[in-house]
Structure formats: structure tokens, C-alpha cells
């Protein structure tokens, strides 16, 4: 039922975009037979040992790089004059001279991730990404970590993810449902890297950390992306309420402030984190670093586990 709803939604979206019925039919057919139409990462010819994470982000269109190249593809695809040049996303991935295009600014996490993950690159590790959209960053991790087992979770139907690979698996999980998250983590856990790129707002930040951080290995990295906008919104609401003498009853602490409290092992009252959750983080965290890049929403918190 969810898959049918997804296809109907995509059909309506394409109609609004004034796409041709032929292309809409191709889209529906592709999604019905999604497994055979996914891009097979094991069939792509990419130098797995020497290509940088930045190059992979540019190639696959993950906005974790300095540029967000997938938006350029869609501009080409929507333009009837240039659509024949890139008939599908696989054509785009295999384009010559990837740097010879105009791109929007990306979040630029790649150099930060390379700094933290360099020593893990050629090890047999386990990676979990929470929130994968179409899977472009999963493809990047697949080649950056040539020996890694990679899991992606999201609420979207499997047909939405454009990639498949022998070392990669995708699971439909509602990360805000504690039981679903715990069942998944217990079954596949003991991850070396966990990246939260899911719902960029409260309560997802806290819920994911509470549920998944215990399933991170000693020496592993937990990374939270894109909390800057949510922090700014919360700061604005809090400032208004304070000016009126009102109190925020629910989410009243920014993520940046929480990272600072955790780094200094200072307890705080918050909707999701209970004292036992904070104690676990305090007792099991070696370091916490927060980074901001040029993009106005770019924000990355990196926690290394003891």
C-alpha cells in the first residue's frame, strides 16, 4: 500500500512538472521493477583505493561534498535540449570531466570525514547511515570504504533508493519509533560509524542518539549532520518567549548547547534525554567536536566513543 501511494505521489509530481506521459510511464515501470533498475555499485569501474571522498560526492551527487552535483543533473534532465545527453542518473555518474560543470554549494563535510575516518578506510568495518534519501551518500561510502558493510535506514520505500551492492543493505525503519530502532540496532549493531542525516530537527536528533549511540563500537564515531537551522529556529523562538516572560515547555536547548553540555559532562533537563541517557554518554564518550562550514545550514557534530 505504501509503495502504491509513493507511485501515485510521484505521478502527480511529474504531471505538475509538465513531464511527458512517456517519461512518466518509464518512471512508474522503473519503480515497479525497481530491483532490476537499480545502479549496481559492484559493476561500476571506479578506483576504490585512490579516489577521495570529495571526488565520490561530486560523482554520485551527495551534498556532503563541497558541491551538490545532483541538482545540476536534474536541471539537465528537465531541459528537453540536454536530456538526451544524460538519459538517466547512471549516465550522469559516468559523465566525463565531472569538475567541468556548474554546481550549487554543498555542505562540505567530506574533508572533515576524511580527517576522522582515514585510518578506518581499508578496514572491515560496519557503517550505519540514518536517513539516506535516494542513496547517493551510501554509494560514496561504498567506494570510500571498500571493505565495509553498509546499512542504510529510512522511511522511504526501497524503490526510492537508486543503488544496490553486495556490501550494502537498506531497511525501512521509522527512527522515531523506539521499538523499531532498537530491534534493528540489536540485530545489526556494533557499528564503527553511525551518521545521522535523517530528520534535521528535534526530537530526531536526541531520539537517534539515545537509541543508536549504545550500539556504536568503542573507538567508533557518531556523526550528527545539519542541526544548524534547527538551532537558529529554536534560538529565535526562545528569544521571543523570554522577551514575553514565557518558558519553552518542550525543546528548549539547542543541539550545539547539548554538545557543549555533554562535552563538559554537565547534566541538563530535556524532553528526550533522561539522566541515565546522559550518564551513558558522559561515561562512554572520549571526545566531542562541532564543525560549521561555508554553507548556511552546514553543521556537523562528531562524537568519538571510548
Give the whole-angstrom CA distance, residue 288 versus residue 270.
19
Q: What is the pLDDT of residues 114-171, one digit of tens each?
A: 999 999 999 999 999 999 999 999 999 999 999 999 999 999 988 889 999 999 999 9
pTM value is 0.87
Residue 1 CA, distance from chain mean position: 26
Supply the pLDDT for residue 248: 77
Give the whole-angstrom CA distance, residue 110 versus residue 112.
5
In the chain, what percentage of residues exceed pLDDT 70? 86
Supply the pLDDT for residue 83: 73
Give the whole-angstrom CA distance, residue 62 versus residue 56.
8
Amino acid at each position: 500500500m505504501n509503495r502504491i501511494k509513493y507511485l501515485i505521489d510521484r505521478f502527480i509530481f511529474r504531471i505538475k512538472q509538465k513531464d511527458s506521459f512517456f517519461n512518466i510511464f518509464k518512471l512508474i515501470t522503473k519503480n515497479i521493477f525497481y530491483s532490476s533498475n537499480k545502479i549496481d555499485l559492484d559493476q561500476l569501474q571506479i578506483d576504490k583505493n585512490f579516489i577521495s571522498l570529495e571526488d565520490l560526492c561530486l560523482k554520485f551527487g551527495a551534498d556532503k561534498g563541497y558541491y551538490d552535483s545532483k541538482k545540476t543533473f536534474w536541471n539537465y534532465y528537465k531541459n528537453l535540449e540536454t536530456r538526451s545527453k544524460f538519459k538517466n542518473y547512471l549516465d550522469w555518474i559516468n559523465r566525463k570531466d565531472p569538475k567541468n560543470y556548474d554546481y550549487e554549494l554543498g555542505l562540505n563535510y567530506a574533508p572533515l570525514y576524511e580527517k576522522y575516518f582515514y585510518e578506518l578506510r581499508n578496514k572491515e568495518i560496519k557503517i550505519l547511515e540514518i536517513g539516506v534519501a535516494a542513496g547517493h551518500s551510501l554509494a560514496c561510502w561504498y567506494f570510500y570504504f571498500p571493505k565495509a558493510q553498509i546499512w542504510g535506514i529510512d522511511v522511504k520505500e526501497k524503490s526510492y533508493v537508486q543503488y544496490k551492492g553486495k556490501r550494502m543493505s537498506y531497511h525501512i525503519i521509522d527512527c522515531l519509533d523506539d521499538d523499531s530502532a532498537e530491534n534493528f540496532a540489536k540485530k545489526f549493531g556494533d557499528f564503527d560509524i553511525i551518521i545521522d542525516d535523517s530528520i534535521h530537527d528535534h526530537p530526531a536528533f536526541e531520539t537517534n542518539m539515545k537509541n543508536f549511540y549504545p550500539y556504536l563500537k568503542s573507538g567508533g564515531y557518531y556523526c550528527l549532520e545539519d542541526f544548524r537551522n534547527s538551532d537558529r529556529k529554536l534560538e529565535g523562538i526562545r528569544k521571543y518567549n523570554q522577551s514575553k516572560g514565557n518558558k519553552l515547555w518542550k525543546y528548549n536547548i539547542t543541539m550545539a548547547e547539548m554538545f557543549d553540555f555533554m562535552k563538559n559532562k554537565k547534566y541538563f533537563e530535556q524532553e528526550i534525554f533522561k539522566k541515565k541517557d546522559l550518564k551513558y554518554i558522559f561515561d562512554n564518550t572520549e571526545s566531542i567536536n562541532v564543525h560549521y562550514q561555508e554553507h548556511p545550514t552546514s553543521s556537523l557534530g562528531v562524537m568519538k566513543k571510548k
